[in-house]
Structure 1
Amino acid sequence: MDTPAIPLPRDPRERAILDQLSMIRDQLLLLKQDRTNYIRTQDVMPLFDRTMDQVKELNIVRAETGNKGENRLDKVLESCFQLLSLFYLTIGRNNEAPATYALTSTIKRLLDHLVEADLYSAKDLGSIKSTLEGLTHSIQHGSKEQVPEKKPPPYVITLLFNRVELCQATLAKLQKRLERVPESLLSTHQKLVSILRAVALANTKSKFSTSEVKKLRQQIVEIGDRYNGGKFTAEDGTVVPGSEEVRELYQRCLKWSDLVLERKGVVADQWRPIYDVLVGIRNDLEKLSLTQAWSLRETDLYDFQRQLDKIDESRQNGNWLDDRARPADLWTQRTLLYLIRRSYGYIYSFMLASEPVSEALLPIYNQLQTLKRCLVEVKKSGGVSSVRELYPYSMKLNSLDNMKVDGKFVVNGDIPEGQGSVSELLAECFDLNYDLRVAAEEANEAGSPEADGEVDGETKAEEKAE
């Protein structure tokens, strides 16, 4: 899409479809950039339907011509699918099949990088495995959807199934390799992976800390010392099957920490521009991770993905070339790849954390999430000594409940997606608040008669307020 190296379609009918998809993509981008209004289901679905019409037409054309080669049309179509998938997350339709497209793109990137880096732990694979199982369930549910307007076309279901299966095949290969690590050394293997990543993080901080990296290196040495000086054999010196995997990782950790200490975070001038871009993306995503629930619109992830994809795909034989066609040195290559993988990891976590609630309802949902956390903490700490302490929570819950019109939360005349999730959370908060009030009343009733009278008065006042 961004480079002339990707040819235009030769078939005039494909060119016409390209023109239509380009207009749809531009409209999606404009909708994404509009911060003055909430994104609504009725804004997204017509664009989804128009995209599906073009895909249907494309399938007919290619069935006739037999063309399977990729051209610019495929790139623009991929952008449309990616954007629409993120829009589905934004409007709260997370559990529907089209929403899985963007997540499968990120998972594939992560898996490909794990294969390339040959550096991962059982924990990494466990998360991806459970996510893929959830995506499979969503796609299967979509294929059996009874509501016509919610049922995706068969070719979309097939596309999504194929993407998930591709990810699962790569995951299976990674799991098979990890099986070679003996169970007795799995925790050690995971610890070494964790330390190596900590060294990579220290390597990309704005101010390099030699002492921090030296401490991490010392942890690596200490692990080796516990296993016969890094040989990872049994106590009697015999070789444990699979221990060579851990031994290689141990040696790799030592060499990487030495290389990091040698370079001290100094980036060569020819690689500084790409390094600064990647550090900027990583830092922006890191900041978003602190305020995600309140500030992230899922469609924002598209721009980050596109920048990362472009940089990642600019490599040749796994490495970057400078203006004079010279490959990056080992430290630069690994540092840039770490930044890319770290950023993809953030995007993956954001998509997983996305709530099945429309952007318009998120402010209410987030307030309820905060209220629930507060009430749970109050309950954990022993409850309240007086019903009066629950007044702020009761008033807030009632003010949110009073926003409903005929049992629905209405925003600007619309009934946004995610009503069930918000109502369920509101009910949980009311239940927690009620349990705390009952416990406080019972505790006071067991006390002095004066206390009983005080509680009765407070309870009546609260009931009147409600």
Structure 2
Amino acid sequence: MNQKVPKEEQVILENLINVRARLSAVKRDRSSYLKLDDIMPLRLETEEQMKKLSEIRGGRLLDESRELNRTDDVLDEILQILSLCFLSLGRYVSIQLVSSVYSQVITIKHIFDRLNEVGVYEEEYLHPYKAKLDEIEKILIQDTKNDIVPEYAIQVLRYKFIQCGKIYENLLNTIREVDDELIPIRDRMLRIRRNLSSICCKKEYTPDDIKPLQDELHEIDDLRVDGKFLGPDETTPPGQGVLISLLEQLYYLSHDVIFACSEDFSPALQSIRERLLEIKGHLERLELTHKWTLRQTDLFTYQHQLYDIVKLKYNYMNYDEQENPELFGKFVNDQGVAPEGQCVLDFLLHKCYRMIFELLNESTPVSEALTPVYNQLTSVRQCLSVVKKMGAPCSAEELYPYQMKLSSIDDLRKDGKFYDDRGNIPEGQGLCVDILEECYSILNSLRDESESNASTPKLSPVDL
């Protein structure tokens, strides 16, 4: 990325840096829940700067013919933080839909970049990303049609979205080059690559972990006749180039993975590897506890750290500060050389971005203020559903804890609504009330089953 900013963009850059600082302060403030009133002024300021930047650039904020600069970098950070803030406010806040999906598009873009570097995957592997892109496309179309946000404000998201679509089609075209008769061989090699990836994501491993995979690669290589994979009828099905390229890649990756656990592994790469393992460890803990502890804005810290690491791959300068295209997409050491063992870092990067994508997808569809209530209700519903599924009759004593829990949650409402600590009505009321009523319904059903011979009145919020 070109860090030089044109003179006419300097004022905009300074204003954006100021917005980023204030937005970061809001993000870090844990003294109270995020509020829409805290975020909207900063969003409007950002849109104002985007409008001015668009005018300076002739109506196009981003263009493939123009190299990105620091202004784009700071704007991207702001849009990511805003996106995560809106997710924290509630995924289905209508006016923020287009803003809330920006971070997801960026994460998919990073995942696709890693996939594009590797080359070929099963089509099923891409399905979750395609499903999310389809969902985002509907939001883009709807918000553009209804003029919910200005055109200049939606340009950046649309540009990133189109980039994702192009990479997806490229990946899909590569997949479809392989004939059905060769799919079993392809899937076998892809399984080997998944195993290599799993090994790379461990804190420690040895060459003995890789040897069985190398032996299987030799077995696959021995299936070739005159250098080609044959079909059941001894013909040469299409897709030879993809499979042979994948086979050669796996030989290289297995060697690279073994080198990364040797004493000759570059200290510069080892330092990056340790940073990635630390990030992965934090994300793994969030996967276990996110339902109760995660504020979506927390993910920006990890996204930003990963982005800083990715940028190291594209600082392709050799020792005398001259551009070297051969270093593009590779990590270099202090001598301007790309050491062996690169793939370990690439596998870890991909793993971390996938974990962030999954955490973003699992974000609760209610505001942060209602998240504790939502989590408690969904947990009670899950427990009641399991009890009902078991089919065993429950005594009144066994149902009592559920009655008490629902009653305590219901008592939090005033005039039928849940309020936050500032007396505001947070987003997600309807969903929480629906789950509460569903819990009462299941509870009534269980009580009817256990007391079918008794004339016990139905449970209701009033009864409890």
Tell me the TM-score normalized by structure 1: 0.85
Cα distance in 2 for partners of 1:89, 1:77 equals 18
Aligned mates of 1:171, 1:246 — CA distance in 2: 19
- Give the AA of the match of 2:170: K
Aligned to 1:206: 203
Question: Kindly tell me: are residues 48 and 238 of structure 1, through their superposed partners in 2, closer, same or farther at Cα, counting changes over 3 Å?
Answer: same
Distance 1:230 1:377 in 2: 56
CA gap of 1:64–1:422, structure 2 versus 1, over 3 A, is closer
Q: State how far apart, in whole Å, the 1-side matches of 2:281 and 2:431 are.
A: 32
In 2, Cα distance between equivalents of 1:60 and 1:39: 32
Q: Report what 1:16 is aligned to.
A: 11
SS at match of 2:101: helix
How many pairs were matched up?
442
| Partner of residue 381, structure 1 | 390
Equivalents in 1 of 2:50, 2:347: separation in Å?
Answer: 36
Q: Identify if the C-alpha distance between structure 1 residues 354 and 46 changes in structure 2 by more than 3 Å, giving closer, same or farther.
A: same
Aligned to 2:135: 134
Query: Which residue in the other structure is 2:324 paired with?
Result: none
Cα distance change on mapping 1:269 and 1:165 into 2, 3 Å: closer
Secondary structure at 1:405 match in 2: coil
Q: Which residue of 2 aligns with 1:432?
A: 442
Give yes or no for the alignment of 1:416 onto 2:442. no
**Which residue of structure 1 lines up, in the alignment, with residue 149 of structure 2?**
152
Cα distance between partner residues in 2 of 1:223 and 1:433: 57
Identify the residue that residue 350 of structure 1 maps to in structure 2. 359
What do the CA deviations read for 1:405-444 (whole angstroms, capped 9, x no partner)? 12211011121112222222223322222332233334xx
In structure 1, the residue matched to 2:160 is: 163
Is the Cα–Cα contact under 8 Å of residues 204 and 265 in structure 1 kept in the other structure?
A: no
CA distance in 2, matches of 1:429, 1:191: 46
Query: 1:28 is matched with which residue?
Result: 23
- Amino acid in structure 1 at the alignment position of 2:398: E
TM-superposed deviation, 1:91: 0.9
> SS of the counterpart of 1:409?
coil
Deviation track 1:344-389 (CA, whole Å, cap 9, x = no partner) reads 1111111111122111111111111211221222222224343432
- Cα pair 1:142 1:152 within 8 Å, conserved: yes
Deviation at 1:92, TM superposition (A): 0.9
Query: Aligned AA for 1:340?
Result: L
With over 3 angstroms needed to count, the CA separation of the structure-2 counterparts of 1:223 and 1:366, relative to structure 1, is farther
Letter in 2 for 1:327: A
Which blocks of at least 5 consecutive residues in structure 2 are unaligned?
Answer: 317-327
Q: Contact 1:410–1:416 (CA<8 Å) still a contact in 2?
A: yes
Decide which of 3, 24, 31 is 1:6's aligned counterpart: 3
- Residues 386 and 195 of structure 1: CA distance in aligned 2, closer, same or farther (over 3 Å): farther
Q: Report the Cα offset of residue 391 of structure 1.
A: 1.7
Q: How does 1:51-450 map to 2 (within 5 A)?
A: 51-63=46-58, 70-94=68-92, 96-145=97-146, 151-186=148-183, 189-209=186-206, 212-214=209-211, 216=213, 232-242=229-239, 245-246=242-243, 248-250=245-247, 252-253=249-250, 256-257=253-254, 259-261=256-258, 263-264=260-261, 267-315=265-313, 316=316, 317-329=328-340, 332-412=341-421, 413-442=423-452
**Which residue of structure 1 aligns with residue 321 of structure 2?**
none
Matches of 1:157 and 1:382 in 2, distance apart? 52
CA–CA separation in structure 1 for the residues paired with 2:40 and 2:409: 29
Higher fraction of helix: 1
Contact 1:224 1:231 (C-alpha < 8 Å) held by counterparts: no
Question: Structure 1 residues 396 and 222, CA, compared in 2 at 3 Å: closer, same or farther?
Answer: farther
Deviation at 1:125, TM superposition (A): 1.6
Q: Are the equivalent residues in 1 in contact too, given 2:412–2:418 (CA < 8 A)?
A: yes
Structural RMSD (CA)? 3.1
Q: Which amino acid aligns with 1:26?
A: A
Tell which deviates more after alignment, 195-204 or 297-306: 195-204
